[in-house]
A = this chain, B = another copy of it.
Amino acid sequence: MAKTIAILTGGGDCPGLNAVIRGVVRSAIKTYGFRVLGIEDGFDGLLNGPRVRELDLAAVRGVLQLGGTLLGTSNRGNPLSYPVQENGQTVFRDVSQQVVDNFRALGAEALVAVGGDGTLKIAQRLHELGLQVVGVPKTIDNDLRATDVTFGYNTAVSVVTEALDRLHTTAESHQRVMVVEVMGRDAGWIALESGLAGGADVILLPEIPYDIEKICAAIQRRRAGGSRFSIVVVAEGAFARDGQQVLQVSADQSCCGVPRLGGIAHAVADQLTHCLDMEVRTVVLGHVQRGGSPTPFDRILGTRFGVKAVDLIAEGRYGQMVALRGREVLATPIAEAVGQLNLVDPDGDMVRAAEKLGIMLGR
């Protein structure tokens, strides 16, 4: 009887997830003759359900160019600390063993777990409990060290760059300073690369605490040189050298009931308004950065990751995850990969190139 494998996608969605799923399904069926099950809504589809459906070739037709994940994802709960009702109260328990038991009840022999650092940590725990699992890394921020880059990031940079192209013309027509907030809580890759590609004048990263005085001075120099507008790209995790702004931001975010992005852009705009005699406007790109059709790069990388994950299963190399190194897709132990951040090097090649161009990085 044919081997059965299963796949789930966890954490925030990312363009390219469907390419991974399609790569797994097509390679499993066409090359290895495996049967593939799709688990819905991440680990939640194992804990509440099961919610599982078979993925045949027809199920992945036409999905290569679609954003999101056809399997859904869930933030409802991390199996390592899952919300459980006990005596009328919500307590948090490690339910990994239940995940393993429920998975075995499906009759599948191996699991492809696609997700970020959180999902990979769970995968590692399941592996330790004896479940045959391989990992596929996912992070739109590009902040995982185990792989040179993951799918989704290229699309995010592309969306942000297109927005910067649009904002240039309106900023210039109105002689404005435009502060654009982009994703990047720990790592400033999206801000740095889209800022380079979109012709930003100032780029603020979590890795380089910023000095607002220097930013104001840079914008004033630009103006004195005849450039009557400036584009400031700021990663959501950026913060001022003196730390004050962080407090201000938190206060701002709590002033409405709804959780809201956009704290740092408003804080920076606030500060610039005080030191400049120019109109300052903010744009918070938010969820559009995650969505939509993946770029060719992300479709290809997702596809190769999916194919490689099935290869690992066929070879019985469990506890491993796929990764890109240079131009090769290879395997690396999940245990060594989790918790390792890929940050922008403040003295690295790309930051230095940006500064040589005259871009202000806040220092």
Contacts and interface: CB of A to CB of B under 8 A. Distances in A.
A137 to B, nearest CB: 17
Q: Which bucket holds chain A's interface residue count?
A: 35 or more
Residue of A197, A225, A350 with highest tally of chain B CB at under 10 A: A197
A357 B169 contact: no
A4 interface: no
A286 B287 contact: no
22 contacts: A13-B170, A13-B173, A15-B169, A23-B357, A26-B357, A30-B357, A64-B199, A65-B165, A69-B173, A72-B228, A73-B174, A154-B297, A161-B299, A162-B292, A196-B300, A197-B296, A257-B273, A259-B281, A307-B356, A310-B356, A326-B326, A327-B349
A230 interface: no
A307 to B, nearest CB: 4
B287 A258 contact: no
B67 A307 contact: no
5 closest A-B pairs by CB: A68-B169, A166-B291, A166-B292, A67-B169, A197-B296
Contact of A148 (B12, B283, B327): B327
A75 B173 CA distance: 11
A175 interface: yes
A125 interface: no
A53 to B, nearest CB: 14
A178 interface: yes
B356 A27 contact: yes
Given A158-B296, A280-B258, A299-B197, A163 B288 contact: yes
B288 A286 contact: no
Contacts of A168: 62, 68, 291
Contacts of A329: 349, 353
Contacts of A310: 356
B252 A72 contact: no
